[in-house]
């Protein structure tokens, strides 16, 4: 989608990421910017046309479509997060989230799709989240609404293909806006997010993975889902599991979650000491690698990794060949440190080695 001469409508444009979209668009060669807002008086950027648009109001959506018939790019950015647990939170709050994050953008798309078609196809940008893929129990309703919005985005892309509308899904972790004000974790600069999304739009992409967190979670989607702290969490840390060192040790990860990692190593005489038994370093390596993979997965949503401080591996029984099963479990997972234990057994379920690893949680970059 070429932005030169484009007419762009941004919803939720008065603050946060929406405002950054507008500021970034001002610097690009677009023909017009409509700032969709609930309060027309809240738009303070020169050269921008405020449009009264509460996305949950059918009347506002209808009026905005009637007033903005020249739109070529619709940016569905408006959203709310009420921090509602699906199990114990207010159902009314969960409904508000679906109204704002799913039904609102859908209503706007339904109103503007014919306008985009009439203006040559254009584009729709839907601001989703990394939480379209993974759930946090404390914000379960928000996650569900963003997952629904992702599904909607995928449906719309297919349905609108024939009219030539580019439909872009935006996935991103925390952004430094009011919505994430209470979050104590690394956050994306909204200006950088806006610029990254617009660059992807111009490049013709259907999906934008704005940050490392989004890229990592997307890459983990083929990993297992485990029940941890009462909630299913997506877990595997592909970067750790795909380490060249882990591969060189022959450790294959079969299943990884935030509190358990299982894998195996098929040992043969290439793993031997000069005196013909499997080298103890094989067990130490497996202990540390399995613990690190699980511990890093456990802190991944805080944009952290876990690094081993001590590794005490006891060698209990020697073997010469066969499959060694590796089973790592979290014993303790604190805010700053974790303790994991790892058992390794042969194909007759005999304990070959037992290790414990203490790890430090550190910022990923
Ligand atoms: N912040 C994050 O960490 C984060 C991470 C991933 C994705 N996102 C997504 O990014 C988008 C922007 O969020 P943000 O971080 O900029 O949040 P924000 O700072 O809380 O701003 C939300 C914006 O949405 C508007 N809005 C809320 N309900 C609306 C409605 N019914 N109709 C029209 N506008 C409405 C707000 O307008 P008022 O001023 O009138 O309330 C405000 O302009 C959202 O879709 C959010 O889910 C945010």
Tokens linked to 142: 């928000």
CA dist., res. 218 & res. 290, Å (int): 21
b vs e for 187-216, b when ≥16 Cβ sit within 10 Å of the residue's Cβ? Answer: bbebebbbbbbbebbeeeeebbbbbebbeb
Q: Quote the ligand 1 centre to 10 CA distance (angstroms).
A: 11
- What integer is the mean pLDDT of 199-224? 86
> Burial letters for 235-253: b for 16+ Cβ neighbours within 10 Å, e otherwise?
bbbbbbbebeebeebbbeb
Element (H, E) at 328: strand 322-333
User: For the chain, what percent of residues have pLDDT higher than 70?
Assistant: 94
- Find out whether the beta carbon of 179 lies less than 6 Å from any atom of ligand 1: yes
161: Cβ–Cβ under 8 A, 6 or more apart, which residues?
A: none
Rounded CA gap, 164 and 289, in Å? 48
Average pLDDT over residues 256-268: 92
Q: Is the dihedral of CA 215, 220, 222, 228 positive or negative?
A: negative
Ordered alpha helix ranges (H), the chain: 16-26, 58-67, 91-98, 104-118, 140-159, 190-202, 212-219, 238-241, 244-248, 280-299
Using a pLDDT cut of 90, give the percent of the chain over it: 82
Atom 45 of ligand 1, residue of closest alpha carbon:
79
Query: In the numeric block, which tokens belong to residue 284?
Result: 């130490």
pLDDT the model gives residue 216: 77
Confidence band of 247 (pLDDT split at 50, 70, 90): confident
pLDDT at 238: 46
**What pLDDT shows up at residue 183?**
87
Cα separation, 259 vs 296, in Å, equals: 10
**For 111-120, 180-189, 311-320, which range has the lowest pLDDT when averaged over its residues?**
180-189
Query: pLDDT per residue over 71-85, tens digit each?
Result: 999 999 999 999 999
Q: Which of 14, 18, 108, 150 to mutate to test the pocket of ligand 1 (most atoms within 8 A of CB)?
A: 18
Asked if 31 and 229 touch (Cβ cutoff 8 Å), the reply is: no
d(CA 230, CA 232): 7
Assess whether pLDDT exceeds 60 at residue 305. yes
Quote the CA–CA distance of 216 and 280 in Å, as a whole number: 33
The distance from CA 1 to its chain's CA centroid, rounded to whole angstroms, is: 25
- Could you give the 3-state DSSP secondary structure of residue 83? coil
pLDDT for the residue numbered 218: 85
pLDDT band at 254 (very low <50, low <70, confident <90, very high): confident
- Rounded distance between C-alpha atoms, residue 40 and residue 22, angstroms: 15
| Mean pLDDT computed over every residue of the chain | 92
**Does position 40 have pLDDT exceeding 80, yes or no?**
yes
- Please name the residues in contact with 194: beta carbons below 8 A apart, sequence gap of 6 or more: 17, 20, 21, 23, 24
75 lines ligand 1 (CB under 6 A): no
133 three-state secondary structure: coil
Residue 195 main-chain phi, psi, to 5 deg: -65, -40
Cβ neighbourhood burial of 283 (10 Å; 0-12, 13-18, 19+): buried
Averaged pLDDT for residues 140-167: 98
Residue 6 phi, psi (nearest 5): -70, 155
Split at pLDDT 50, 70, 90, the class of 65 is very high
Q: What is the pLDDT of residue 138?
A: 86
DSSP string covering 159-205, please? HTGGGT-EEEEEE-S-BSSGGGTT--S--B-HHHHHHHHHHHHHTT-
Q: 277: pLDDT confidence band, cut at 50, 70 and 90?
A: very high
Of 3-12, 243-252, 327-336, the range with the lowest mean pLDDT is 243-252
Instruction: Please check the confidence at residue 102 and state whether its pLDDT lies above 90.
Output: yes
Q: Which of the pair, 136 or 122, is modelled with greater confidence?
A: 122
Instruction: Specify the range with the lowest mean pLDDT, choosing from 150-159, 197-206, 234-243, 268-277.
Output: 234-243
The pLDDT of residue 244? 74
User: Which domains are present in the chain?
Assistant: 7-219 (3.40.50.720), 225-363 (3.10.129.10)
Q: Give yes or no for residue 178 CB within 6 A of ligand 1.
A: yes
| CA-closest candidate to residue 270, choices 246, 248, 244, 243 | 248
Q: How confident is the model at residue 231 (pLDDT cuts 50, 70, 90)?
A: very low
191 lines ligand 1 (CB under 6 A): no
**b/e string for 126-139 if b means 16 or more Cβ within 10 A?**
bbbbbbbbbbebeb
Q: Both tokens of residue 330?
A: 């979290």
The minimum-distance atom of ligand 1 relative to the CA of 142 is 47
């Amino acid at each position: 989608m070429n932005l030169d001469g484009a007419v762009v409508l941004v919803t939720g444009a008065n603050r946060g990421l929406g405002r950054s979209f507008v500021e970034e668009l001002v610097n690009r060669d677009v023909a017009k910017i409509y700032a969709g807002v609930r309060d027309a008086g809240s738009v303070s950027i020169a050269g921008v046309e405020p449009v009264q648009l509460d996305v949950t109001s059918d009347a506002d959506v209808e009026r905005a479509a009637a007033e903005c018939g020249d739109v070529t790019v619709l940016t569905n950015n408006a959203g709310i997060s009420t921090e509602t647990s699906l199990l114990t939170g207010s159902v009314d709050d969960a409904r508000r989230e679906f109204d704002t994050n799913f039904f609102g953008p859908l209503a706007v798309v339904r109103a503007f799709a014919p306008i985009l078609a009439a203006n040559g196809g254009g584009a729709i940008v839907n601001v989703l989240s990394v939480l379209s893929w993974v759930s946090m129990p404390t914000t379960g309703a928000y996650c569900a609404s963003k997952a629904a919005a992702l599904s909607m985005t995928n449906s719309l892309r297919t349905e609108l293909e024939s009219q030539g509308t580019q439909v872009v899904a935006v996935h991103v972790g925390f952004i430094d806006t009011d919505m994430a004000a209470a979050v104590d974790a690394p956050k994306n600069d909204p200006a950088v997010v806006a610029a990254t999304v617009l660059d992807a739009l111009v490049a013709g992409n259907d999906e934008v993975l704005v940050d490392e967190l989004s890229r990592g979670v997307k890459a983990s989607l083929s990993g297992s889902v485990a029940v941890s702290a009462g909630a299913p969490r997506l877990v595997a840390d592909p970067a750790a599991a795909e380490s060249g060192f882990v591969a060189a040790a022959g450790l294959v990860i079969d299943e990884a979650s935030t509190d358990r990692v299982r894998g195996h190593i098929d040992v043969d005489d290439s793993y031997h000491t000069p005196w013909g038994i499997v080298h103890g370093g094989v067990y130490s390596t497996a202990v540390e690698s399995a613990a690190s993979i699980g511990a890093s997965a456990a802190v991944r949503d805080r944009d952290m990794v876990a690094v081993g401080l001590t590794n005490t591996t006891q060698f209990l029984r020697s073997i010469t060949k066969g499959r060694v099963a590796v089973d790592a479990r979290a014993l303790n997972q604190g805010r700053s440190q974790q303790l994991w234990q790892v058992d390794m057994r042969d194909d007759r379920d005999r304990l070959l080695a037992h290790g414990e690893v203490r790890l430090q949680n550190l910022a990923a970059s």
